[in-house]
Structure 1
Amino acid sequence: MRKTRTTRRAVAVMAAAAIGTSLLAGCASDEETGSGTGGTSADGKTVITVGLFGTFGFKEAGLYEEYEKLNPKVKIKQTVIERNENYYPQLLTRLASNSGLADIQGIEVANIAEVVQTQSDKFVDLGKADGVSKDDYFGWKWQQATTAEGKTIGLGTDIGPMAICYRKDHFEAAGLPTDRDEVGKLWAGSWDKYIQTGKKFMNSAPEGVKWVDSASGLYNAAISSSATRYYDDKGEVIYKTNPDVKRAWNVAAEAASEGMTDKHELFTDSWNKAMNNGTFATLSCPAWMLGYIQDKGGEKAKGKWDVAPAPKPGNWGGSFLGVPEASKNKEEAIKLAAWLTAPTQQAKLFAERGSFPSAPKSYDTPEVADAKHEFFSQAPIGKIFSAAAEGIPTQVIGPKDQVIQENIARTGLLQIEQKGLSPAKAWDAATKAVDNALDE
Structure 2
Amino acid sequence: MQTPRRTAVVLAAAVMSGVLVLSACGGSGGSSTDTAASGGPVELTVGLFGTFGYDEVGLFKEYESQNPGVTIKYESTQGEDKYWPALQTRLASGSGVADVQGIEVARISDVVTNQPDQWTDLRDTPAADAISRYIGWKEPAATTPDGAVLGLGTDIGPMGICYRSDLLQQAGLPTDPAALSAEMPDWNAFLALGERFKASAPAGTSWHDSAGGLYNAIVSQQKEIYYGQSGDLVFDSNPAVRSAFDTAARAGQSGLTAKLEQFVDPGWDQGFSSGSFATIACPSWMIGYIKGKAGDGGSGKWNVTSLPGGAGGNWGGAYLGIPQASQHKDEAAKLIAWLTAPEQQARVFREVGNFPSTTQAIASVTDTTDPYFNNAPIGKIFSDSAQNAPVQILGPQDGVIKNAMVQALLSVETTGAAPDTAWNTAVGNVKNQVG
Distance 1:228 1:330, change over 3 A: same
In 2, Cα distance between equivalents of 1:192 and 1:243: 16
Partner residue in 2 for 1:62: 58
Question: What runs of 5+ residues in structure 2 fail to find an aligned partner?
Answer: 1-31
**Pair 1:338-2:334 in alignment:** no
In 2, Cα distance between equivalents of 1:321 and 1:295: 22
Superposed, 1:188-199 pairs within 5 Å as: 188=185, 190-199=186-195
In 1, Cα distance between equivalents of 2:84 and 2:276: 35
Partner residue in 1 for 2:207: 211
**Pair 1:315-2:314 in alignment:** yes
In 2, Cα distance between equivalents of 1:114 and 1:384: 31
Following TM superposition, the consecutive aligned residue runs of length 4 or more in structure 1 with deviations greater than 6 angstroms are: none
Distance 1:69 1:229, change over 3 A: same
Partner residue in 1 for 2:130: 132
Distance 1:419 1:85, change over 3 A: closer
In 1, Cα distance between equivalents of 2:87 and 2:268: 31
Q: 1:97 Cα deviation (Å)?
A: 6.0
1:266-315: CA deviation from partner (whole Å, max 9, x where unpaired): 23122233333323321111223233334444555432321101123222
Is residue 170–residue 205 contact of structure 1 (8 Å, CA) maintained in 2? yes
Question: What runs of 5+ residues in structure 1 fail to find an aligned partner?
Answer: 1-36
**Amino acid paired to 1:358:** S
Is residue 126–residue 132 contact of structure 1 (8 Å, CA) maintained in 2? no
**Pair 1:53-2:52 in alignment:** no
Of residues 380, 396, 401, the one that matches 1:399 is: 396
**Amino acid paired to 1:334:** A
SS state at 2:130 partner: coil
**Pair 1:254-2:250 in alignment:** yes
Is residue 131–residue 152 contact of structure 2 (8 Å, CA) maintained in 1? no
SS state at 1:375 partner: helix
**Amino acid paired to 1:360:** T
1:243-263: CA deviation from partner (whole Å, max 9, x where unpaired): 110121121012112222222
**Amino acid paired to 1:335:** K
> Percent identity over the alignment?
45
**Amino acid paired to 1:401:** D
In 1, Cα distance between equivalents of 2:134 and 2:96: 30
154-163 or 279-288: bigger deviation: 279-288
Distance 1:206 1:75, change over 3 A: closer
Q: 1:41 Cα deviation (Å)?
A: 6.1
In 1, Cα distance between equivalents of 2:178 and 2:33: 51
Distance 1:347 1:327, change over 3 A: same
38-47 or 304-313: bigger deviation: 38-47
Distance 1:294 1:149, change over 3 A: same
Superposed, 1:181-330 pairs within 5 Å as: 181-188=178-185, 190-267=186-263, 268-311=265-308, 312-330=311-329
In 1, Cα distance between equivalents of 2:254 and 2:90: 48
Is residue 122–residue 325 contact of structure 1 (8 Å, CA) maintained in 2? yes
Of residues 166, 176, 179, the one that matches 2:176 is: 179
SS state at 1:39 partner: coil
**Pair 1:363-2:362 in alignment:** yes
Of residues 129, 133, 141, the one that matches 1:144 is: 141
**Pair 1:82-2:102 in alignment:** no
Partner residue in 2 for 1:166: 163
Is residue 213–residue 281 contact of structure 2 (8 Å, CA) maintained in 1? yes
In 2, Cα distance between equivalents of 1:415 and 1:407: 11
Partner residue in 2 for 1:40: 35
In 1, Cα distance between equivalents of 2:101 and 2:122: 13
Q: 1:330 Cα deviation (Å)?
A: 3.5
Is residue 107–residue 319 contact of structure 1 (8 Å, CA) maintained in 2? yes
In 1, Cα distance between equivalents of 2:73 and 2:305: 36
Q: 1:120 Cα deviation (Å)?
A: 1.6
In 2, Cα distance between equivalents of 1:385 and 1:250: 26
Is residue 211–residue 249 contact of structure 2 (8 Å, CA) maintained in 1? yes
SS state at 2:160 partner: strand
1:188-221: CA deviation from partner (whole Å, max 9, x where unpaired): 4x32332233234334444543321211110111
SS state at 1:338 partner: helix
Partner residue in 1 for 2:28: none
The alignment's TM-score, normalised by the length of structure 2, stands at 0.81
Superposed, 1:99-118 pairs within 5 Å as: 102-118=98-114
In 2, Cα distance between equivalents of 1:271 and 1:149: 43
SS state at 1:276 partner: helix
**Amino acid paired to 2:135:** F
Number of matched pairs? 397
In 1, Cα distance between equivalents of 2:325 and 2:276: 50
In 1, Cα distance between equivalents of 2:417 and 2:96: 47
**Amino acid paired to 2:160:** A
Is residue 95–residue 101 contact of structure 1 (8 Å, CA) maintained in 2? yes
**Amino acid paired to 2:159:** M
Is residue 38–residue 102 contact of structure 1 (8 Å, CA) maintained in 2? no
* RMSD across aligned positions (CA): 3.0
The alignment's TM-score, normalised by the length of structure 1, stands at 0.80
In 2, Cα distance between equivalents of 1:86 and 1:79: 17
Is residue 101–residue 327 contact of structure 1 (8 Å, CA) maintained in 2? yes
Distance 1:118 1:370, change over 3 A: same
